[in-house]
């Protein structure tokens, strides 16, 4: 089922087109916002992309943009563009819940750096999007506010954990949205919802104001209807932030000016390990078709082995839960969030966490705590870190021969609700293609490239070495054009 058949309305202008029209005074930001709010009013009840729609705040922001244009000012490269923000990014005075009962109603006293930069560029925040609780999941079924549905087929999941952001863009609620990616939480839902999703190099986009899950893995990035829209957003939100100790120096690479450079002469590696067992035949076929399109556009395409990626899933599900165990210890019923009173402090903390955390979050906290415990640290967490080093080394070896690597983003198209919730391992396998780049800290993007046998979107993943965003975006732009022409 297509977006047009599942939901109301026809495609709306891209973020780039919208900003150009508003900056030139051809359209008002209030009018643009009204179109998107109409779409939200018509379809949000069926999709549930948002935990909160901030319509009044958005109208005030749109009016401010229009006032600046009327005064002869330039509001910025995203003037009047509606944007949806994942509900694990802090928004001053607006509830930020991480789709968890334990943070119900919490209103941060500041904006995340990426949210602030979007607003300074003229963007208008329309709401906070649903996610798997604390970004732990691959289907947005693990949310205290209920699941989000895939706009292409309302009986299917949108992917996760940033399913609400992906669905918001796919449904036309906003042309761009922000998500976070710890093990594939931007790219996998982007693939399942048929939109563009980008995870930049670790440290290129500030994590200040992102509620932490796995601090050495988390990265903020955009969902967008087009590659060009995603490129603009990356340049707006990226660059050094002195408030983030892991932030890299300098600005985000100038990717927009290279979108039309093509791939002539680019060396593209097709990752062998990501096209074998566990990858659906229709998905693998679309990835091979994408490789053929790149070759036809002038790239040199060959298969390449990156052996250690086969161990990425095992390493990730020790490293990420260990970091989650540490990060989520702050939710103790004392400083903020849900508090369940009990006779002693220890009992109060236990009762508060029992009531506040969902099953998947508890599972990962316990797994991480076990991996870090005395007697098991070296056997589990320490070994996972060594595997992480091997993955980096194998990627480095591949990038000596290739400028970018290509693979499926997700092993399958969108699956039905309930198909994988009974078996956590089957759910975790949805991230088998995306996790390795998080462990390596490298950039990767998912680009829609046709549909599978069920008519649902297939995403092709483009990976690049650290700070290789220019080559990644060049390749993504060619794939987008090739998919549109096919």
The helix, strand and coil proportions of the chain, stated in percent and rounded to the nearest 5, come to: 45, 15, 40
Q: Which residues are catalytic?
A: 86, 161, 185
Q: What is the mean pLDDT of residues 310-322?
A: 96
Query: Can you tell me which residue has the tokens 């399942």?
Result: 192
pLDDT tens, position by position, 223-242: 999 999 999 999 999 999 99
Q: What is the pLDDT of residue 252?
A: 98
Contact indicator for 282, 417 with CB cutoff of 8 Å = no
Q: What is the pLDDT of residue 2?
A: 38
Q: What is the pLDDT of residue 173?
A: 98
Q: What are the φ/ψ torsions at residue 260 (nearest 5 degrees)?
A: -100, 15
Give the alpha-carbon dihedral of 278, 280, 286, 291, to 10 degrees: 20
pLDDT tens, position by position, 61-74: 999 999 999 999 99
pLDDT tens, position by position, 329-376: 999 999 888 999 999 999 999 999 999 999 999 999 999 999 999 888
What's the order of all strands across the beta sheet hosting 50-53? 50-53, 124-129, 82-86, 176-180, 220-224, 196-199, 444-451, 457-463, 404-408, 267-271, 300-304
Q: In whole angstroms, what is the distance from residue 193 CA to residue 296 CA?
A: 27
Q: What is the pLDDT of residue 486?
A: 62
Helix 227-237 to helix 469-485 angle (10° resolution) is: 160
Whether residue 5 has pLDDT greater than 50: no
b/e for 19-39, b at 16 or more Cβ within 10 A? bebbbeeebbbbebbebbbeb
Q: What is the mean pLDDT of residues 457-475?
A: 98
Tokens of 1: 């089922």
- Give SS3 for 267: strand
Whether residue 301 has pLDDT greater than 50: yes
> Cα 129 vs. chain centroid, distance in angstroms?
12
Q: If we measure between CA atoms, which residue out of 429, 190, 404 comes closest to residue 316?
A: 429
The angle formed by the CA atoms of residues 290, 478 and 267, to the nearest 5 degrees, is 70
In order of 29, 131, 198, the CA distances from 58 in angstroms are 10, 21, 25
Contact indicator for 110, 92 with CB cutoff of 8 Å = yes
Residue 111 falls in which region: left (phi positive, over 0), alpha (psi -120 to 50) or beta: beta
Q: What is the pLDDT of residue 8?
A: 62
Residue 71 CB partners (closer than 8 Å, separation 6+): none
- Domains, the chain, ranges and CATH? 3-268+401-485 (3.90.1300.10)
> Cα 412 vs. chain centroid, distance in angstroms?
18
- Give SS3 for 238: strand
For the chain, the residue count is 486
Rg (CA), the chain: 21
Other Cβ atoms closer than 10 A to 407: 28
pLDDT, the chain, mean: 96
pLDDT tens, position by position, 380-401: 999 999 999 999 999 999 999 9
Contact indicator for 50, 131 with CB cutoff of 8 Å = no
Q: What is the mean pLDDT of residues 440-465?
A: 98
* Cis? peptide before 161, omega within 30° of 0: yes
pLDDT tens, position by position, 407-439: 999 999 999 999 998 888 889 999 999 999 999
Question: Considering Cα of 159, then 162, then 164, then 166, what sign does the dihedral take?
Answer: negative
Query: Can you tell me which residue has the tokens 């009531």?
Result: 355
Half-sphere exposure of 458 (CA within 13 A, CB side): 26
Residue 116 CB partners (closer than 8 Å, separation 6+): none
Tokens of 453: 């046998």
pLDDT tens, position by position, 162-192: 999 999 999 999 999 999 999 999 999 999 9
Tokens of 248: 């890299």
The pTM of the whole model exceeds 0.75: yes
Q: What is the mean pLDDT of residues 25-50?
A: 98
- Give SS3 for 460: strand
Tokens of 437: 């780049």
Whether residue 406 has pLDDT greater than 50: yes
């Amino acid at each position: 089922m297509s977006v047009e058949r599942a939901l109301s309305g026809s495609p709306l202008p891209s973020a780039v087109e919208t900003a150009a029209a508003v900056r030139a005074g051809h359209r008002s930001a209030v009018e643009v916002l009204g179109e998107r709010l109409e779409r939200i009013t018509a379809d949000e009840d069926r999709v549930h992309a948002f935990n909160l729609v901030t319509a009044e705040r958005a109208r005030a922001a749109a009016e401010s943009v229009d006032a600046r244009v009327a005064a002869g000012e330039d509001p910025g490269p995203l003037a009047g563009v509606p944007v949806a923000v994942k509900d694990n990014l802090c928004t001053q005075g607006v509830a930020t819940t991480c789709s968890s009962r334990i943070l119900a109603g919490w209103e941060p006293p500041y904006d995340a750096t990426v949210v602030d930069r979007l607003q300074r560029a003229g963007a208008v925040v329309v709401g906070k999007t649903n996610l798997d609780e604390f970004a732990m999941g691959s289907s947005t079924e693990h949310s205290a506010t209920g699941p989000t549905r895939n706009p292409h087929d309302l009986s299917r999941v949108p992917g996760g954990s940033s399913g609400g952001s992906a669905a918001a863009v796919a449904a036309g609620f906003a042309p761009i949205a922000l998500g976070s990616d710890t093990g594939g939480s931007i790219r996998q839902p982007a693939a399942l919802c048929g939109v563009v999703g980008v995870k930049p190099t670790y440290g290129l986009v500030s994590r200040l104001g992102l509620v932490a899950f796995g601090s050495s893995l988390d990265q903020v990035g955009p969902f967008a209807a087009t590659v060009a829209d995603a490129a603009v957003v990356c340049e707006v939100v990226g660059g050094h932030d002195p408030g983030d100790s892991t932030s890299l120096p300098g600005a985000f690479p100038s990717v927009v000016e290279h979108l039309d450079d093509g791939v002539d002469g680019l060396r593209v590696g097709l990752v062998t390990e990501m096209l074998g067992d566990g990858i659906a035949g229709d998905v693998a076929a679309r990835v091979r078709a994408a490789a053929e399109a790149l070759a036809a556009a002038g790239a040199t395409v060959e298969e390449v082995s990156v052996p250690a990626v086969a161990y990425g899933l095992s390493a990730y599900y020790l490293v990420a839960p260990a970091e989650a165990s540490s990060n989520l210890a702050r939710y103790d019923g004392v400083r903020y969030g849900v508090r369940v009173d009990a006779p002693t402090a220890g009992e109060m903390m236990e009762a508060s966490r029992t009531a506040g955390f969902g099953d998947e979050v508890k599972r990962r906290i316990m797994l991480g705590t076990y991996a870090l415990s005395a007697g098991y640290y070296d056997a589990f967490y320490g070994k996972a870190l060594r595997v992480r080093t091997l993955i980096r080394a194998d990627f480095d070896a591949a990038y000596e021969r290739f400028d970018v690597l290509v693979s499926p983003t997700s092993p399958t198209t969108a699956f039905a609700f309930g198909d994988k919730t009974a078996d956590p391992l089957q759910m975790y396998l949805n991230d088998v293609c995306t996790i390795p780049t998080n462990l390596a800290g490298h950039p990767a993007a998912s680009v829609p490239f046709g549909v599978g046998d069920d008519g649902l979107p297939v995403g092709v993943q483009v990976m690049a070495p650290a700070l290789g965003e220019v080559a990644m975006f060049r390749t993504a732009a060619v794939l987008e054009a090739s998919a549109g022409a096919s």
